[in-house]
Structure 1
Amino acid sequence: MDFTDQRLSYEKGQLDQQSIPTSPFELLHTWMNEAIEAQVQEPYAMSLATCGADNKPGVRIVLLREITEKGIVFYTNYESAKGQDIAENPNAEALFFWPKLERQIRISGSIAKIDTTKSAAYFQKRPHDSQVGAWVSQPQSGEVANRAVMEQTFAQLQAKYPADSKVPTPEFWGGYEITIENIEFWQGRANRMHDRIVYTQDNSSADGAVNWTTKRLLP
């Protein structure tokens, strides 16, 4: 298949370095809200890239569940392939891509588990069957003989934990937070003259305050 003749001209917006906020979190909130208002399908879905000790990168889609004062939070199985990568190399990168708005946000930084109490509180907010499903995926990405085995395990767990009962939070499941060190906002423009603004965390302040520097990148 040849896609060399397939292309679009991006003409829906612009990103002016002179008018952006001093903190990237303000712009992150603004863009996320605009994606929600534009009814982008699952605007909080992001590609998460990790790399373990084998130096082989892995990427998959996960769901953003919170923007904090210092980063972004998602939840997963700690014993999954990404969990193993993070244990070996606590750095990660996330990418949001919203074609409808011709925008991307690229986030990189250090990553660590969040407090277990907070993870448990979120787990109990999930739909009951999603809670049950988390117990089926153990170990996540592990080999299974066929789908029937999965469905049998799911049915057994549904019987063990009926809809009106509490499903315990698995010890192998919880949240991670990526502390943002660099974040790039990309706005598509015509003629491939895209706008790219990068915020970089500046920790040189004597009072320990987190400041940010910005720069424009060539497309």
Structure 2
Amino acid sequence: MSDNESLQQIASLRREYTRGGLRRKDLTDDPLTLFERWLGQACDARLADPTAMVVATVDENQQPWQRIVLLKHFDSRGMVFYTNLGSRKAAHLEHNPRISLLFPWHMLDRQVAVTGKAERLSTVDVMKYFHSRPRDSQIGAWVSRQSSRISARNILESKFLEIKQKFQAGEIPLPSFWGGFRVSIDQMEFWQGGEHRLHDRFLYQRDADTWKIDRLAP
């Protein structure tokens, strides 16, 4: 297949979104209530990694960056994820706490987009979650200087075995360079695919202690 044929084939890829619409009567007053319902349905549908979300940050040169992390908790205060505090995203958030999240539930023809502000979690909150992780995951947190350059994978594997031996007995301590962020929510948009590209989009915007809801054109 030639490059032109390949590009034409990509351009022609499309399908109809027929899983149903989203109407105003389906909405809740609080977006997190609707999010909880949709997340539950994503879990019930056995989607791979239903809590996976694309996290977008901006560096000091105003260059956006994206990566996928896992949502670990949410409540009225916001959405929580954990990371190495030496990572690229943590460095970005240090100088610019504005952030966006995207949950791409393609198999349900759904997306949820969130914008807000990230703030560091307390050591108590981080420690509580850290010690709930599988032991090997705790060791893994010690091994990687996230986003730093390494010459080969076996460096990580050797370090893992070294740390595992070091902490073979007793509780694994919380690394000083490992933490988490809570994203307070300013806006939340729910997208449901519709036939003929007439998708349903509703935007929740925080207005003091309430939420303003608008339907957006697809």
C-alpha distance in 2 between matches for 1:18 and 1:124? 42
Partner letter of residue 86 of structure 2? E
Partner letter of residue 160 of structure 1? K
Q: After the TM superposition, which residues 1-219 of structure 1 pair with which residues of structure 2 at under 5 Å, given as runs?
A: 1-2=6-7, 3-138=10-145, 140-162=146-168, 164-203=169-208, 210-219=209-218
C-alpha distance in 1 between matches for 2:153 and 2:77? 40
Partner letter of residue 85 of structure 2? Y
SS in 2 for 1:29: helix
Consecutive unaligned residues in structure 2, runs of 5 or more: 1-5
TM-score, scaled relative to structure 2: 0.94
C-alpha distance in 2 between matches for 1:70 and 1:201? 13
Offset, 1:180:
0.5
Equivalenced residue count is 211
- Structure 1: which 4+ aligned runs deviate by more than 3 Å? none
Q: Which moved more, 1:118-127 or 1:14-23?
A: 14-23
Offset, 1:19:
3.6
C-alpha distance in 1 between matches for 2:176 and 2:12? 50
Q: Which moved more, 1:123-132 or 1:18-27?
A: 18-27
Offset, 1:68:
1.5
CA RMSD of aligned residues (A): 1.0
Offset, 1:69:
1.2
C-alpha distance in 2 between matches for 1:13 and 1:113? 38
Partner letter of residue 193 of structure 1? L
Task: Give % identity.
Answer: 37
C-alpha distance in 2 between matches for 1:51 and 1:20? 31
TM-score, scaled relative to structure 1: 0.94
TM-superposition CA deviations, 1:116-173 (whole Å, max 9, x none): 10100100011111111111112x11111211211111110010011x5211111111
Partner letter of residue 58 of structure 1? W
C-alpha distance in 1 between matches for 2:185 and 2:56? 14
Offset, 1:115:
1.4
**Larger helix proportion of the pair:** 2
C-alpha distance in 1 between matches for 2:90 and 2:160? 23
